[in-house]
Amino acid sequence: MESFETIEVHSLEVVCDGGGGALGHPRVFLHIDQDRGEITCPYCSRSYVLPKSCVPHERQHRINEM
């Protein structure tokens, strides 16, 4: 049973290549879902998450308006 990695990123666009080795795959660009704050790589099932402290600027603007 494998446990997949969760990787914190600070950008909405990440590049995943599976980290090489058995799970390696061609380099792909992934775009983090801003509503969920995460994206799972369809190739290697790693999860890329945006820390709550790192809210995209658009959303910060929206919060300020409320």
**Measured between alpha carbons, how far is 52 from 4 in angstroms, rounded to an integer?**
21
Asked if residue 30 binds Zn ion (CB under 5 A), the reply is no
Number of residues located near Zn ion, criterion CB under 5 A: 5
Side-chain-facing half-sphere of 62: CA atoms under 13 Å:
7
Structure tokens at 17: 């290549």
Tokens 């801003």 sit on residue: 34
CB of 41 to Zn ion, least distance (A): 3
39 binds Zn ion (CB under 5 A): no
Q: Minimum Å distance from CB 25 to Zn ion?
A: 6
What is the closest distance, in whole angstroms, from the C-beta atom of residue 18 to Zn ion in the complex? 4
